[in-house]
Each structure stands twice: as C-alpha cells, then as structure tokens.
C-alpha cells in the first residue's frame, strides 16, 4: 500500500498537474468537454502508474535476470504451487491476477479512443504492448537499471487482461447504444 501511495504522490500526481496546467493554457482556445477531460486525466494517470509499476518501481536486486521463454511454464508452476500449498496463496494470486489486471484498464480505454478498430488490430495491439513492457524490462536490466523478470507468461496474462478489458467495454458500449436507440 505504501508503494501505491508513493507512486501516486511522487509520480502520477506531478504528471497530472503538468497536464492540467497545459490544458488550462489551451482551454481558452477550445471548448471544454467534461467527459473527454475525465477520460484524458484517467488515461494519463493510468499510463503514468503503469510506467512506474513495470519499469520504475524498485525491486529486489537479484544480480541476475530471470528469463522464461517457455509459454505457460510460470503459470503452470504457480498452479501446481497453489494446489500443493508450497507458495503463499496471496503471492500466487497477486502474480497471476496482477498481470491480468495490469492491462485490463488499457483494454477498457482502447475502444473509447479507437471506435472503429478491427479485431486483428486489437489483437496485435494486445500482444505488442506486453511485449514492449517485457523488452523494456530486459533493456533496463542490460543497462543495470532494473531487475524484473522477463517472462512470456506475463505477456500471455497481460494480453488476457487487455482483451478482457476491451470486450467488457465493447459490450458496455453496445448496451448503451442499444438502450439509447430504444428510447429515441
């Protein structure tokens, strides 16, 4: 909880304040749309927090990087650990569901910014973003600036979270559109 508070106060909040100052300078020339501004503020806060979590948050210094390029190896190990009670339940759940939840908000935002995007483009985006995160973590390790693991299972779980968020929002938008068209 302290890390969350720290990242919000010293990372996300300054970025939001800079954005708001810029918007106040530009707002004189543009009409304010409250929904769009709230969406922008949430998006900026989320992306700033995401960058902090995946690249900037201090981690234990292992002296090496843990690489996994075997799909479902980590997921399988966590599942076995969950069944055998060999790892704390909270650790397993936070690692598996944490990776899903990490990109779920981005999946929710995606259809709001890109209304007419193809399924193929959505899937490609849902794969590329987690890959960029993992490549960034590897790059930070190579420059001796980070020690996060690089794991294909993180890509898989992040992709699931992105697509889950995307479909939740698409279904919500479809229901809203249908509801509005029925009452018109």
Q: pTM score, two decimals? A: 0.87
Helix 119-142 and helix 152-182: axis angle, to 10°? 140
| Residue 1 pLDDT > 60 | no
Tens of pLDDT, residues 70-123: 999 999 999 999 999 999 999 999 999 999 999 999 999 999 999 899 999 999
Bridge partners, residue 151, by sequence:
68
Tens of pLDDT, residues 118-172: 999 999 999 999 999 999 999 988 888 877 889 999 999 999 999 999 999 999 9
């Amino acid at each position: 909880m302290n890390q969350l508070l720290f990242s919000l106060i010293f990372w996300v909040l300054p970025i939001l304040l800079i954005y708001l100052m810029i918007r106040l300078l530009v707002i004189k020339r543009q009409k304010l749309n409250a929904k769009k501004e709230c969406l922008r503020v949430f998006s900026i806060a989320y992306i700033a927090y995401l960058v902090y979590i995946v690249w900037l948050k201090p981690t234990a210094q292992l002296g090496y990087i843990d690489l996994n390029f075997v799909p479902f190896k980590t997921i399988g190990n966590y599942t076995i650990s969950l069944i055998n009670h060999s790892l704390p339940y909270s650790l397993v759940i936070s690692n598996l569901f944490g990776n899903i939840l990490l990109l779920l908000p981005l999946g929710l935002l995606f259809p709001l910014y890109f209304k007419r995007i193809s399924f193929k483009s959505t899937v490609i985006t849902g794969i590329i973003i987690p890959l960029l995160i993992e490549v960034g973590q590897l790059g930070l390790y190579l420059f001796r600036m980070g020690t996060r693991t690089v794991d294909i299972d993180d890509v898989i779980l992040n992709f699931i979270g992105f697509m889950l968020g995307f479909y939740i929002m698409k279904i919500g938008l479809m229901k809203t559109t249908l509801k509005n068209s029925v009452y018109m």
